[in-house]
Each structure stands twice: as C-alpha cells, then as structure tokens.
Chain A
Amino acid sequence: MSDSYTVPKDAHGHPMNLQHHFDTPLQQFESGKMGMWIFLMTEILFFGGIFCAYSIFRAMHPEIFHYASQLLDWKMGAINTVVLICSSLTMAWSVRCAQLGQKQLLIIMLSLTIALAGVFMAVKYVEYSDKFAHGYLWGTHYTSPSAHDSKEGHAAGQEGEHAAASSAVSLPDSPEPKNVHLFFGIYFFMTGLHGVHVLGGMIAIGWLLLRAVKGHFGPGYATPVDAVGLYWHLVDLIWIFLFPLLYLIA
C-alpha cells in the first residue's frame, strides 16, 4: 500500500470500503487475505482426497494407468496447460493493475483471463466429446478400443462419427488390461471437478470485471482482485499436477 495515496472517506470521515468491525483498512486486508489462504487450504485437502485415491489405484494397478493414458490426447492437454499458464499471467497482471489503479488495463487483463478460461473449457469440451464418441467412459459405460475397430462404436452420439474421424489418438500397442474403466472414472472425476472450479473462477472474475468497470478498485482497495487471483492460481496449479498425472504416463 502506497503511503502517498489517501484512502477515500465517506461523509463521517470513515474510510470507504472499510467494514465497521475493522479498525484499519490494513487489518481488513490482512483478514481477507488470511481467510482466502485458509479457504485455499481446504481446496487443497478437497482435491487431496481424490489425488490420494489416484495414487492408491495407480500403485495397485499401474498397467491400467499405463494403458489408458495412451487413449488421452496429450497435445490437447499440453495446449490447455499453456492456456492456463497464460491466464495466470494475465490474472497476476490484473492484481497489479488494480493495485496501481490502472482501470483500462485492469479491464483488458480480466477480460483476457476470462477468455483464456473459455478457451480451456472449449478444448476440454472437444476432448470430452471425443471420449464420449469412443465410449472411453467410467464403470460399465466403458467401451474397449478393440470393440470399435469397425468404426461404429455403439456409445457414439450424433457427432460421434465426426469426433472419431478427427481424433488424433492412436491406439496403444500393448494388450488391454482388466478394469481400464477405473482410469476413466478417476479421469472424469478429477477433470470434471477441476472444470467446475474453472467455471466458478470465470464467474468470480466476471464479478471482478463488473466492479472494475464501475471503478471500485484502486491503491486503497484491491483485496477482491487479490483474493480471486490467489484462487485462480490454485486452479491453475491443480491442472499443472493433473496434466502429467493423467496424460504423460506412458
């Protein structure tokens, strides 16, 4: 916080944006930030549970993970990794803009972050529809790659033919182990949960964008941008773990 900046005050001489139960803006800022870090801790434990399940199943059935990860398209995953890292950059830039009061640049950076998140979800959608088309699904919905050599996999929807034709994934040459569907159960659960967090992040950044347009943020008050930024970096970080763990096994 810069010393030269004067905090905007209301009619009673009370700093604006300062809630009545805090003494100073600094105390409010520190509380908000600490609360956000604790919330992120709960997020890590939340994902920690499913990472733990992943480790246990991978340790018990390495052959399933080795085989099934080859059915994923690592190029799509790599594109999404780059997209999310870029969005983290624009988010971090947003925080700086908010703190310096650069309104125009803040609006641009927040919009870019939402756009990149949108690209991530679009790539994820293409990947998911490809998996649905091939029947690479969880549990009893799973269809073995050998079952649709004839190119008419029974799990394919309307766009199945198109997606199957455009799929860049070549079939693994090793023989298929038992219970490959377990990998896809974990894959869809992990990436689905992560996707929900990306959507939540897009909503939160959209809210920041609205407030940025109204000119709410400046050197005296940028806590919401800071807090959502922390959340966004965590969502990014979780993907950085998911990518190698799911796509780069073989």
Chain B
Amino acid sequence: MSSADTHVHDDHEGRNYLNYPRGFLSWAFTLDHKRIGIMYLVAVLVAFFLGGMFAMLVRAELLTPGKTIMDADQYNIAFTMHGAIMIFLFMIPAIPAALGNFVLPLMLGAKDVAFPRLNLLSFWVYVAGTLLALYSLAVGGVDTGWTFYTPYSTTTNTAVISVTMAAFILGFSSIFTGINFIVTIHKLRPKEMSWFDMPLFLWSTYATSIIQILGTPVVAITLLLLAVEKGLKIGIFDPALGGDPVLFQHFFWFYSHPAVYLMILPAMGIMSELITCFGRKRIFGYKAIAFSSVAIAVIGFLIWGHHMYTSGQSALVGTIFSFLTSIVAIPSAIKAFNWMATLYKASVRFETPMLYAFSFLWLFLIGGLTGLFLATMATDVHLHDTYFIVAHFHYIMVGGALFGFLGGLHYWWPKMFGKMYNQRAALVGWLLSFSGFNLTFFVQFWIGQNGMPRRYYNYDPEFQLGNQISSIGAFLSAIGFFFIAAYLIHSLVKGKKASANPWGAASLEWQTASPPIPHNFSEEPKVMFAYDFQQWELKSEEEGYVLRDSRPPDDGSGEGRG
C-alpha cells in the first residue's frame, strides 16, 4: 500500500483512468482492472442487445398461433439463440466480470486484481468465444435449445459444434475471472480489513467464484464430449451405439444448475450494498448473509437432479433431489429476511438504485416461491416443460439477476464515469422496464399452469390472449431498456459531475475520486467496516458525502485537497 510515494505522477489534475493514457491500444492492452471492467461492460451490453432482439422475435412470432413472422425452424433457432446468448454471453459475465472487475479491487483498497494479465486474457478469450458464437449464428444458428440435449443435438444439422466450442471458450474466461477474484480477496485484502469487514458484495463474488472454478470445468468437458460425439461419433451419449443420453443431462446440469446461482449470487451481493446504503443503516445479520452466500454455492452443486424428474430417474433419487432443492430455499430466505430486517426503521431514500433493489426483493420473492412448486416432484410433473417454468426462471434471471445488475450499474455509474444521470428519466426507465417485465411473465404462470408447453411454435387458441399480453409486455420492457440506455449515454455527455461519494456509502471505492485515478487511490484509503455510515457526513456544497474529522475525499479536480 505504498502507492503515494512511488506514483505521485497520478495526482496530475484531471487525470483519471478513462482519459489517461489515451488511444485504442492503451485500452486493448490495458492491465487496469477498471478499463477491463468497462470493456466487459460494453461487450455484455452488446450481447444483451443481441439476445434481447431474439426475444423480441420470439414474442412477435407468438402473437398469433401458427405462422406470424417466421417458420417453425427459424423459431427454434430464435429461442435457442436467445437463451444461449443471454446465459453464456450476458448473465454469467455481466455482474462479476463487468461490475465486479471494476469495484472488487477498489473495495479492497488494492491497486489491481492479483493477476492483471490473466484478467486481460479473460476479456479477449470472452471476445473470441463471442466471435465464434456470432460465426455459428451466421452459418445458421442452433435449434436445440440452450441445453443442447442429446440425442437431438448430435443429429440436428445446425451449428452445434461451433456453438458448444464457443461456450467452451467462454468457460475459460469465466474460470480466469474466478481464479483472479479468489486470490485477490485472499491476498490483496489490507491487513486492517478482516473477512467480516468486507462489503457483502465481495462475499457473494467469492461464492460466485467458487462456482466458477468448480462448475465450469465440468461443463467444459461435457461440451467437449458433445462436440466429439457429434464430430467423431464416439457413441458415449448415443443409445444406438450403447451410450446414454441421460448421462449428458446429468453432466450438463451438474454445472448448469450451479450456474443459476452463479448468475443470482452477485445480484444478491449488490442487493446487500443497495439496501444498506439507501437505508443508511448498518446491515442486519452480516455473518448470516455472508455465510448464506457460501451455503448457496455449496448446496447449489447437490441439486441438479431436479431438472430431470421426468427423465426416468428413480423415485428415490427424485425424492433426495427434491429434499435438497427445498433446502436451498433456506439460505435464500435468510438473505431476504435480513434485508427486510435492515430496512426496518431505516431512513429509506428512493434513489434509482434503490428502486431496483425493491424490484429485486419482490421479483425474487415470486421467482423463489414458484421455485418451490417445481422443487416438489408431484407438482413438477404437472408443470414440467410448460410456460410456468419459463415464467419462474425469468423471474429469477431477469427479475433477480438483471434487475440486480441494473441496480448495480446505476449505483456505480457515477463512480465509473464521474457523471450523474437524470434521476427523473431513470424513474421512467425503471417504471417501463419493471411493468413491462411483470406484464410479460406474470401471465405466463397462468398459461403454463393451464398447459401451454414451452418451446412450442404453435398453440391452442385459448392461450392467445395470454400470449398477446406477454408479447406486449415484452415490447414495453424493450422500450424501457432502450430508454435506460439513452439517458445513461446522455449522462456521459451532459451529465452533472459526480462527487466522490454521492450516495453516502461506506465501502472503500467511494474514498477515491469519481472516476478514479489510474492507480485507484492517491492516498491510502481509510480502512473501516463496510457499513459504518457514521463515518460519512453530507456536505451539500459538494453534493456528496465526506469522511468525518478527516481529509475530504479526493475528487480528482484538486478542489477537495486541503
């Protein structure tokens, strides 16, 4: 932590990580975790746009039964590409690799992650995987669904090999990020900061990284086996050659169920930050929330079989998986109750990030409780492969992970770019996306419960009303997301300058300027408990908070230093 003496040149006025050094190559070969985070952010948002466009195609097609805008084969490709892009290219890297890369070292008061070169490699490997995925799309896409179930995936003529190899390559990028984060939290944490002083976002990132390093290699070998099976016909998953297609399902879900927690855990970490910061109250049950993250990561590995109740596994195995699946509700509920306890008698400020935090609470509650219907074997056999499932996991993935991501993006945006967005525009954007989302998916519980199967191109006329409501909702949320993108981009140009700590949060990243200097901190940050809000007081002339009885935080403009 002896940066102040060796890196005095960073203190040049107005110089920050965004504008120094300049040039394309200085970004492409940067080892700065903040720049890598920003590049990841741009990349995952492009992927989100692409995946979202496929979702629009799917919902447009489902406006009427039979053919609306595309034929059945094109429809299969559209929903497969929507799922594969959203999961592998957006949800998995979105929070850890984009937001996590930016804030994790800052939260630790460190200058970078433990392995900056590995971090850069992770980004370019992600780009390579994305390009391969786009290539697969250009040569016709895939129509298997994002799960690539055998034996269909080994017999269809679409680009299964290149898409699975794209996912294989993306797995490396995920593993590299996981290794980096675990080592960084262990080895670059300041001596004065104990494990229980850390922001809870770091605990959830740590748990996420555990899933990344333990789960991803298994899906990697599975996808490699699938590609070899398809390319060379080795017969391991092919019943005609003595192989077992259900083995593929076991292998696939061993990773892909934990992957669900990989997507939701970082969003839960963001929740802990938002609820405390905008409630201006110490977190209730710090250790319970911290350990429940790890518990979710561990239990998440034991419950993959609940995807396979109808695949012919024995009733005993099903019962065990059902039991274990219900158990994972406990750590999730621990988190939810602790957040609510934190909000009790808190002075809640409804700033934009907090709107997303409240959305998360409600949507995750609905997604979680409907999950219990599916964990129970008897009801799951009825609901299996219906729109009820689609609605359930979109409440977790979109309502949970995506709204968590948006909350985090709005929370750290001033830190990332040094600009404030228009809060009133943000309220409109939130209202559009939140109501659009609920309109889209709440009705799907109803049509699913009434028997509409997922992934079908055609449907009975009785489901038309539900499908149309759902499609209108989807278009509404798309408008909402475009609106959010518009005011965020607008803020980069015309936004008001953000102070070092506009929200009054107490974790270390708010002690440096917004945006931070290239080496993060011009002076050693004052290490403290991440939710010690008493240390910060509002200075209205600075439009932000400053540390009590101490030097004002460095805002990079030179004004704050006394």
- Contact surface of A with B, Cβ cutoff 8 Å: 12, 14, 19-23, 27, 30-32, 34-35, 38-39, 41-43, 45-50, 52-53, 56-57, 60-61, 138-141, 178-179, 181-182, 185-186, 188-189, 193
Contacts and interface: CB of A to CB of B under 8 A. Distances in A.
Contact of B235 (A22, A41, A182): A182
Contacts of A42: 175, 179, 213-214, 216-217
Contact of A45 (B113, B179, B217): B217
Interface of B: 1-2, 6-7, 105, 110-116, 118, 175, 178-180, 182-183, 186-188, 213-214, 216-218, 220-222, 224-225, 228, 232-236, 238, 241-244, 247, 251, 519
Given A53-B247, A138-B232, A140-B233, A35 B114 contact: yes
Contact of A21 (B110, B234, B243): B110
Contacts of A186: 234, 236
Nearest to B190: A23
A181 B236 CA distance: 10
Nearest to B3: A20
Given A34-B187, A48-B218, A181 B6 contact: no
B241 A21 contact: no
B111 A21 contact: yes
B112 A139 contact: no
B218 A182 contact: no
A31 B188 contact: yes
Contacts of B213: 38, 41-42, 45
A189 B225 contact: yes
B234 A45 contact: no
Contacts of B112: 20-21
A45 B225 contact: no
A186 B235 CA distance: 10
B233 A139 contact: yes
A30 B187 contact: yes
B241 A139 contact: yes
A14 B242 contact: no
Taking chain A's interface residues, is the majority helix, strand, or loop, or is none over half, making it mixed? helix
Contacts of B7: 20
28 contacts: A14-B6, A19-B116, A20-B7, A21-B110, A21-B113, A21-B114, A22-B188, A31-B186, A34-B187, A38-B178, A38-B179, A38-B213, A39-B175, A42-B175, A45-B213, A46-B218, A46-B220, A49-B225, A50-B221, A56-B244, A61-B242, A138-B233, A139-B238, A179-B242, A182-B242, A185-B235, A186-B236, A189-B228
Contacts of A19: 116
Top 3 A-B pairs, shortest CB-CB distance = A179-B242, A185-B234, A49-B221
Nearest to A178: B242
Nearest to B117: A19
Given A38-B178, A45-B214, A48-B221, 15 more contacts: A20-B7, A21-B111, A21-B112, A21-B113, A21-B116, A31-B114, A31-B115, A42-B175, A46-B218, A139-B235, A139-B238, A139-B241, A179-B242, A182-B242, A189-B234
Nearest to B105: A21
A188 B232 CA distance: 11
B169 to A, nearest CB: 14
Taking chain B's interface residues, is the majority helix, strand, or loop, or is none over half, making it mixed? helix
B232 A139 contact: yes
Contacts of B116: 19, 21
A50 B224 CA distance: 10
Contact of A181 (B179, B186, B228, B235): B235
B221 A21 contact: no
A27 B251 CA distance: 38
Scoring B213, B217, B244 by chain A CB atoms within 10 A of each residue's CB, the highest score goes to: B217
B236 A182 contact: yes
B385 to A, nearest CB: 26
A21 B112 CA distance: 6
Nearest to B186: A34
Contacts of A46: 217-218, 220-221
Nearest to B111: A21
B218 A45 contact: yes
A31 B251 CA distance: 32
B217 A21 contact: no
B504 to A, nearest CB: 28
A53 B236 contact: yes
Scoring A12, A43, A181 by chain B CB atoms within 10 A of each residue's CB, the highest score goes to: A181
A233 to B, nearest CB: 18
A142 B188 CA distance: 54
Contacts of B242: 61, 178-179, 181-182
Contacts of B115: 31-32, 35
A34 B183 contact: yes
Contact of B247 (A35, A41, A56): A56
Contact of A27 (B2, B187, B225, B233): B187
Contacts of B111: 20-21
